[in-house]
Amino acid sequence: MDIIENLHLDLNLGDILEIVIKIALLIIAYLIVKPIGKKIIKASITKASRRENVSEGRIKTLEKLLLNVYSYTIIFVFIVTLFGIVGLPLGPLLAGAGVLGLAIGFGAQGLVSDIVTGFFILLERQIEVDDYVTTAGYDGIVEEVGLRTTKIRSFDGTLNFVPNRDIQGVSNHSRGIMRALVDIGISYGDDIDHAMRVLQTVCDEFQQDDRFEEGPDVLGVQSFGNSEVILRVLGKTKNMEQWAVERDMRKRIKEAFDHEGIEIPFPHQVHIMKEPK
């Protein structure tokens, strides 16, 4: 607090001028250094990526991360220097265990938590750029994993900024083959064996499809619905192909059922007529 009072007293015009000039020089230096560093990072990454045999996602992740770390570092240096010029000793301010220190400590806690989480996300390769993930209530393609924030692009086009501290568990949908699952209801009056044979014929066709890694196959009677017996078909597909494959299978099953006269039933209801009292 003495700092604040001293601020009012010690300033004279010469000092102020000196400070202004110093700040101007600092800003100029900042504006010159920043883009140069960025270019160096991008160039190094491009060069490095040619030589070594690393996946594209990993390279993008590293490039975004390095640029991110670089900008925070340069801003941090900028601010420390600025405080130095103005004469505010940042160290004691931060280390001072008074009320202000306490408040800042708690405030900064979130920041540390962001960086620690971000560090482990990168170290354990939980997320890489271009992965399709679900985390912290957001769902989409990762555009950048930064030290403090992760950017996720939703499928509707929205760009989500997620503080790393909110990323508690990550569901990464880009790590391996995916399941294609179609549940289809048939009438209680239809022959289950017949319907399962028809479904298996469709499945046999799709087993030739090279988007499938495994199956598909008919599993059996999954449940008894209100108006239909539900049969399940299951297969495993290449990553991100599951939706297209499911759409194709639905269309093909519908056609096969139409051909064989198997009905996908509407909701049924039994009506009993009673005379009014």
Q: How far is the CB of 53 from a copy of itself (least distance, A)?
A: 15
- State the Cα–Cα distance between residues 102 and 173, nearest whole angstrom: 41
Those residues with Cβ within 8 angstroms of residue 252's Cβ, 6 or more apart along the chain or in another chain: 202, 205, 206
Three-state DSSP state, 263: coil
For a copy of itself, the closer CB: 58 or 148: 148
Phi-psi region of 249 (alpha: psi -120 to 50; beta: other; left: phi over 0): alpha
Q: Which stretch binds a copy of itself (CB under 8 A): 9-17, 26-34, 47-55, 178-186?
A: 178-186
- The answer to whether residue 115 forms part of the interface with a copy of itself (CB under 8 A) is yes
Q: How far is the CB of 220 from a copy of itself (least distance, A)?
A: 4
Binding residue for a copy of itself, selected from 22, 38, 148, 211, defined by CB under 8 A: 148
- State the Cα–Cα distance between residues 212 and 124, nearest whole angstrom: 29
Q: Which string of x and - marks every residue 211-250 that binds a copy of itself (by CB under 8 A)?
A: --------xxxxxx-xx-x------x--x--x-x--xx-x
Q: How far is the CB of 43 from a copy of itself (least distance, A)?
A: 19
- Residue 65's closest CA among 125, 108, 135? 125
- State the Cα–Cα distance between residues 142 and 160, nearest whole angstrom: 9
Q: How far is the CB of 210 from a copy of itself (least distance, A)?
A: 17
Q: Which residues inside 24-63 make contact with a copy of itself, applying CB under 8 A?
A: none
- The answer to whether residue 95 forms part of the interface with a copy of itself (CB under 8 A) is yes
- The answer to whether residue 160 forms part of the interface with a copy of itself (CB under 8 A) is yes
H/E stretch holding 172 reads strand 170-172
